[in-house]
């Protein structure tokens, strides 16, 4: 399965509020069911690439196993469902407008990310005709002509079937789309028999029993279960990530909602250390969010992936140090670059190795970032110790000194074979090396509240790509249990 937006592979994947817009959506995911070998993706509506689509809701996508194989009969065969607030007046013309804007925006954004000249990407054109309707359901068939920015870089025509209906008791509108380049009489369309959605409003109501409210601002997306609250989980994204990417890569929302755990997906990113003013600003965002939505402050967990793990550890320490009302019970980091001095020195080694142009470019980016924000190590290590979560060379972890009574988890997947083959890195270059040392140091100071969790063969991106530096190394069910065991 290929992601719509692709994954920006940065070395080690370092990976002003507006008024909140409230919406109620269903249990994520689950509206669109498909076999386990189908790829999947979930994004928020309205989509970022089609500003004319104003629906507030969710898009769930399911990709046939052969969707990205040009020689496979299932090439470009996939389905997605929209479910959103309110009733949309749907006509053939309106459906054509929606799909034209959707695919024109999608191909332009992905094409730009893939380095395709904008003038080469033609505007998408959609055409639909109404087929029939049953009770409150309407059915359409049509086609979409678009420029294939994903695979062939040629024009392609997708045939489309659409089913849509509105449920007044829920005030929810559901639209199901099925796509294939094959004509409607081709047997490939039989594959959609294995893809199911609610058939009517009663089935949709059953699906929404574990619903939640979703509140979005420039600073966060907040998922609040309708059932009794059992805590708050604050998640910080990796370096280039956002809440949509967290939802795509980390399958935490469904079990969290089922267990009554509120989830805050933060937008704050592109930081591997925090300045004092940034800590104060983040505290203000969190305090405002907890107050506005009356969230419980006595059962808070903070975690993040890659650079987001650094932010989580530093913010957990800041909240304890400032004795704020928000007091974390647990903090965790997922394969995070906790030692900035080690990160700097590894980047230097990568440039000397000259394994690939991409590796050299990424390493130089890191060196420039660290030198401009912290300085060079030869000028003294004090600045690195001041900013870094941990400095192994001097055994300095003073930025975590307030976490003595907080549960700490440090996740990593030390796949030495993968890192050697794909980056020419040794174990001493990996995040795992520094995380293990940090865990041993903290265990001596804080005792058995500290857990070092190395995993094996769990790191995969949502598109199926093997990568030990991924959200997926976390056992979600075990994490939920850790949160529940206060």
Instruction: Please tell me the predicted confidence (pLDDT) of residue 210.
Output: 59
- Write the Ramachandran bin of 96: left for phi over 0, alpha for psi from -120 to 50, otherwise beta: alpha
List Cα–Cα distances, 195 to 63, 77, 190, 210, 303, in angstroms: 10, 12, 10, 21, 34
pLDDT of 43 strictly over 90: no
Sequence-separated (6 or more) residues with CB below 8 Å from residue 209: 27
Handedness of CA 411, 468, 425, 368 (dihedral sign): negative
CB-based contact 22:130 (threshold 8 Å): no
Instruction: Please tell me the predicted confidence (pLDDT) of residue 136.
Output: 78
DSSP-derived letter for residue 486 is -
- Using alpha carbons only, give the angle 110, 116, 118 rounded to the nearest 5 degrees: 85
Neighbouring-strand partners of residue 232: 262, 300
Residue-wise pLDDT for 249-289, tens only, equals: 999 998 998 888 999 999 999 999 999 999 999 999 999 99
Closest by CA to 96, choosing from 130, 132, 136, is 130
Whole-number Å distance between alpha carbons of 212 and 434: 38
Closest by CA to 481, choosing from 451, 437, 457, 461, is 451
Q: How confident is the model at residue 440 (pLDDT cuts 50, 70, 90)?
A: very high
Closest by CA to 213, choosing from 198, 204, 205, 225, is 225
Whole-number Å distance between alpha carbons of 207 and 137: 18
pLDDT of 44 strictly over 90: no
Whole-number Å distance between alpha carbons of 267 and 220: 5
CB-based contact 87:174 (threshold 8 Å): no
Residue-wise pLDDT for 170-188, tens only, equals: 788 999 999 999 999 999 9
Percent of the chain surpassing pLDDT 90: 78
DSSP, residue by residue, 413-465 = ---HHHHHHHH---GGGSHHHHHHHHHHHHHHHH-TTEEEEE-SS--B-TTS-
Average pLDDT of span 73-82: 97
Residue-wise pLDDT for 360-381, tens only, equals: 999 999 999 999 999 999 999 9
Instruction: Please tell me the predicted confidence (pLDDT) of residue 225.
Output: 86
Angle, to 10 degrees, between the axis of helix 340-353 and the axis of helix 357-373?
140
CB-based contact 351:364 (threshold 8 Å): yes
The tokens describing 376, both together, are 């060079």
Neighbouring-strand partners of residue 128: 142
CB-based contact 22:86 (threshold 8 Å): no
Up-side HSE of residue 61: CA atoms within 13 Å toward CB?
23
The tokens describing 290, both together, are 């907890």
Q: How confident is the model at residue 209 (pLDDT cuts 50, 70, 90)?
A: low
- Write the Ramachandran bin of 26: left for phi over 0, alpha for psi from -120 to 50, otherwise beta: beta
Residue-wise pLDDT for 392-401, tens only, equals: 999 999 999 9
Q: Report pTM.
A: 0.64
- Residues 404-414 as b/e (b if ≥16 CB within 10 A, e otherwise) read eebbbbbbbbb
Note the CATH number of domain 211-484. 3.40.50.1820
The tokens describing 294, both together, are 């009356």
Angle, to 10 degrees, between the axis of helix 307-321 and the axis of helix 276-292?
80
Instruction: Please tell me the predicted confidence (pLDDT) of residue 25.
Output: 45
Whole-number Å distance between alpha carbons of 361 and 257: 41
Q: How confident is the model at residue 30 (pLDDT cuts 50, 70, 90)?
A: low
Average pLDDT of span 143-168: 96
Whole-number Å distance between alpha carbons of 31 and 176: 10
pLDDT of 14 strictly over 60: no
What is the Rg, in whole angstroms, of the alpha carbon atoms belonging to the chain?
24
Instruction: Please tell me the predicted confidence (pLDDT) of residue 169.
Output: 81
Average pLDDT of every residue of the chain: 90
pLDDT of 1 strictly over 50: no
Whole-number Å distance between alpha carbons of 422 and 425: 8
pLDDT of 7 strictly over 50: no
The tokens describing 226, both together, are 């309708």
CATH 3.40.1000 fits 29-209, yes or no: yes
- Using alpha carbons only, give the angle 269, 272, 274 rounded to the nearest 5 degrees: 85
Instruction: Please tell me the predicted confidence (pLDDT) of residue 157.
Output: 98
Sequence-separated (6 or more) residues with CB below 8 Å from residue 405: 449
In the chain, where the domains are located? 29-209, 211-484
Instruction: Please tell me the predicted confidence (pLDDT) of residue 208.
Output: 66
CB-based contact 336:310 (threshold 8 Å): yes
pLDDT of 15 strictly over 80: no
């Amino acid at each position: 399965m290929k992601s719509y937006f692709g994954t920006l592979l940065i070395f080690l994947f370092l990976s002003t509020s507006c008024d909140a817009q409230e919406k109620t959506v269903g249990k994520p995911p689950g509206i669109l069911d498909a076999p386990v070998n189908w790829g999947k993706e979930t994004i928020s509506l309205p989509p970022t690439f089609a500003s004319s689509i104003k629906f507030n809701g969710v898009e769930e996508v399911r990709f046939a196993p052969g969707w990205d194989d040009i020689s496979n009969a299932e090439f470009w065969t996939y389905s997605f469902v929209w479910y959103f607030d309110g009733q949309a007046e749907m006509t053939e013309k309106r459906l054509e407008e929606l799909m034209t804007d959707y695919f024109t925006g999608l191909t332009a954004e992905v094409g730009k990310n893939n380095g395709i000249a904008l003038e080469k990407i033609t505007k998408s054109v959609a055409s639909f005709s109404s087929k029939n309707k049953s009770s409150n359901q309407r059915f359409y068939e049509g086609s979409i002509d678009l420029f294939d920015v994903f695979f062939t870089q040629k024009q392609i025509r997708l045939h489309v079937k659409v089913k849509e209906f509105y449920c007044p008791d829920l005030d929810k509108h559901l639209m199901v789309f099925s796509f294939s380049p094959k004509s409607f009489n081709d047997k490939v369309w039989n594959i959609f028999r294995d893809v199911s959605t609610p058939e009517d409003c009663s089935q949709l109501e059953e699906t929404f029993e574990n619903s939640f409210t979703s509140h979005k601002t420039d600073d966060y997306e907040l998922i609040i279960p309708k059932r009794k609250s059992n805590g708050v989980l604050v998640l910080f994204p990796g370096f280039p990530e956002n809440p949509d990417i967290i939802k795509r890569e980390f399958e935490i929302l469904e079990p969290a909602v089922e267990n009554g755990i509120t989830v805050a997906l933060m937008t704050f990113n592109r930081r591997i250390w925090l300045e004092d003013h940034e800590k104060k600003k983040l505290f203000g965002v969190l305090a405002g969010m907890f107050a506005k939505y009356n969230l419980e402050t006595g059962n808070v967990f903070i975690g993040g992936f890659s650079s987001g793990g650094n932010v989580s550890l530093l913010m957990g320490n800041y909240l304890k140090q400032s004795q704020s009302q928000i007091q974390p019970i647990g903090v965790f980091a997922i394969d995070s670059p906790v030692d900035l001095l080690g990160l700097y020195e590894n980047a230097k080694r990568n440039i000397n190795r000259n394994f690939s142009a991409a590796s050299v470019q990424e390493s130089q980016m890191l060196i420039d970032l660290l030198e401009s924000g912290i300085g060079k190590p030869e000028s003294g290590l004090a600045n690195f110790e001041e900013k870094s979560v941990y400095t192994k060379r001097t055994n300095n972890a003073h930025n975590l000194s307030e976490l003595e009574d907080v549960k700490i988890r440090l996740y990593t997947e030390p796949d030495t074979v993968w890192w050697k083959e794909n980056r020419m890195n040794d174990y001493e270059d990996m995040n795992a090396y520094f995380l293990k040392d940090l865990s041993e140091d903290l265990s001596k100071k804080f005792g058995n509240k500290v857990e070092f969790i190395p995993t094996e063969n769990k790191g995969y991106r949502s598109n199926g790509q093997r990568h030990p530096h991924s959200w997926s190394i976390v056992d979600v069910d075990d994490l939920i249990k850790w949160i529940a065991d206060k």
